[in-house]
Structure 1
């Protein structure tokens, strides 16, 4: 079986109660907390009463399953191989009957990169994400770090792209490079790029990081990405990752979790 044989059933009439929205989370470099933000966004949408799905599209360094402490029976590599359909690779996080449960399609660490796939395979994955999104209120797609053409292809999916950046100079320059490449994409006219400053020492410091990146984008690209939010540096994040537990489950009142929940709320309106 090839991936072209993998089918995704069309949503049944009356099953969609809210318009779907796909949110991609990207970064110029790794190590900026992109995966934690992605999973916490999905969890925040679920706590708000929305049906949410998290898709780990980082095949080379996928770690959503590790951070959330799950062992999925199938992941994105099985979908690419054509062994299962998208909906057969879903793992539920939390009790279905409980508030805050959400779905995950995991990646597979060390299995390669999206850039190694043929264009037809990339197009099929993107189409698969778009089709399965019809069954959800929100879909969060955790992209690989960097500016690989395959990454920017997924960043052009309908809905906003959150670019995660920290105050490290390399993070800022790499985030600028990502925004530059993404804005040059053929779908750039409909691209909605927003910046998330992570691990900020203070709100003022986070805003300065955003302003540095925004100023470079304005001067050299002629565009000013919006500020989606500032997430404070928080020891609760490391604790949640160490215990392989969602941040909002491990530390419901964590400052970082509250900041991400605010971003989710803003995206929902």
Structure 2
């Protein structure tokens, strides 16, 4: 069994990738200094801006993001999740890709976001992610990382689809990564409770990096990057400002909770 520190990074990304990479590295370095072995960057860590500019930058930015993750993981000797960055997709579209990179710079897992945020919120804001983002076609992976246990990937809006996390739990994930750019309007009511629900029902840790603050004068993110244990207890909360949520992960605790509350073994899927 493994015991280590996990850090969920919280930043305010902008349309300027150079500034975003600098802000991300600052937090990665701080996390490494605090002893973190697993570090997660939020969704859209390299770019938050207008769709047209994202589409223009994506061909160069995709490769740059992958190289950045490799460099940072090696430099700071952490397992690093890039929680979502644009990669060219179909005509006029990108995919929203997360990559998990090991301490030697090796690609451990990759996931393209499958659930797209198409909503009309009561505050008057409308989001149509599918207009310029192509959904992934494969379920998210779970990967065994030596010393860290089994890590499952997801991205932001996925958190509203519990069946995706049942898939990850079915693959024996100890840690569920949920990098996000959750809107302020929905986040105040739904962010924490959804993450706690995913932790409790799957008896797994949740590490949820987050965007925070105002982006390009329009979009407001909720913040509150969290680390939650398998009982649903919030172990760390980054609040509203850029920073970190850092907390210990103990995979033997996952096994203890699953023994005490064996709900995963009690499922009756044949009845549904």
In terms of fraction of residues, the more helix-rich structure is 1
In terms of fraction of residues, the more strand-rich structure is 2
Q: TM-score, normalised by structure 1?
A: 0.37
Q: TM-score, normalised by structure 2?
A: 0.36
Higher relative contact order (CA 8 A, sep 6+): 1
